[in-house]
């Protein structure tokens, strides 16, 4: 069977793989042990931040009565963010300031995370902002936005002629 990979000499493949291994070894020596990537176990354990993805991960669902929005916002206190309804959008704004320091015998690691985010979520229908509710627990913000009577689905009786 013909394969394009057979056209590349085996020694070139080995050289490229060896170069890749050497580069990975350099990174492993340079990085603190807690951030090193175990090649057999998957990616490194860099701390997750809200700002690496541009804001919190969002899930929007809808039922007959309400629109439900869940936002992952780990590490924030309730004073660190606001929830607003502006026209046909739900707006989440927040700011996080965090630092982590670790001292060991053979290395010192310090990391600071500062940043703000704004996340605008288009709403699928008109909601009653006065009856909206939000609960923040264990890093997840759960928002319930009741639909206005006009935006609720209504069944239309079909008459047969």
Q: Could you tell me the residue ranges of all domains in the chain?
A: 50-149
- pLDDT for residue 85: 95
Cα(first)–Cα(last) distance of the chain, in Å? 68
Reported as a single tens digit per residue, the pLDDT across 108-124 is 888 777 788 889 999 99
The values of phi and psi at residue 16, to 5°, are: -65, -45
pTM value surpassing 0.85: no
- Starting at the edge strand that comes first in sequence, how are the strands of the sheet with 81-86 ordered? 81-86, 89-103, 108-122
pLDDT tens, position by position, 5-62? 555 555 655 677 778 778 877 766 666 554 544 444 444 444 445 555 567 889 999 9
DSSP state of 59: E
Q: Are 90 and 70 in contact (CB under 8 A)?
A: no
Fold designation for 50-149: Immunoglobulin-like (2.60.40)
Q: What percent of the chain is predicted at pLDDT more than 90?
A: 37
Tokens 């206005």 correspond to what residue?
A: 148
- Alpha carbon distance 151, 128 (integer Å): 10
Q: Can you tell me the distance from the alpha carbon of 157 to that of 107, in angstroms, rounded to the nearest whole number?
A: 73
């Amino acid at each position: 069977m013909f394969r394009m990979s057979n056209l590349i000499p085996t020694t070139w493949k080995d050289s490229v793989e060896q170069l890749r291994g050497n580069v990975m070894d350099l990174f492993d020596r340079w990085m603190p042990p807690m951030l090193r990537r175990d090649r057999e176990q998957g990616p490194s354990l860099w701390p997750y931040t809200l700002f690496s993805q541009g804001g919190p991960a969002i899930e929007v669902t809808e039922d007959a009565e309400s629109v439900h929005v869940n936002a992952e916002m780990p590490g924030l206190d309730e004073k660190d963010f606001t929830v607003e309804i502006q026209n046909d959008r739900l707006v989440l704004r927040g700011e996080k300031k965090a630092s982590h320091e670790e001292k060991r015998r053979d290395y010192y690691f310090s990391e600071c995370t500062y940043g703000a985010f704004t996340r605008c979520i288009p709403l699928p229908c008109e909601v009653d902002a006065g009856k909206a509710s939000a609960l923040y627990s264990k890093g997840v913000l759960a928002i319930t936005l009741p639909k206005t009577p006009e935006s609720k689905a209504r069944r239309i009786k079909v008459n047969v002629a």
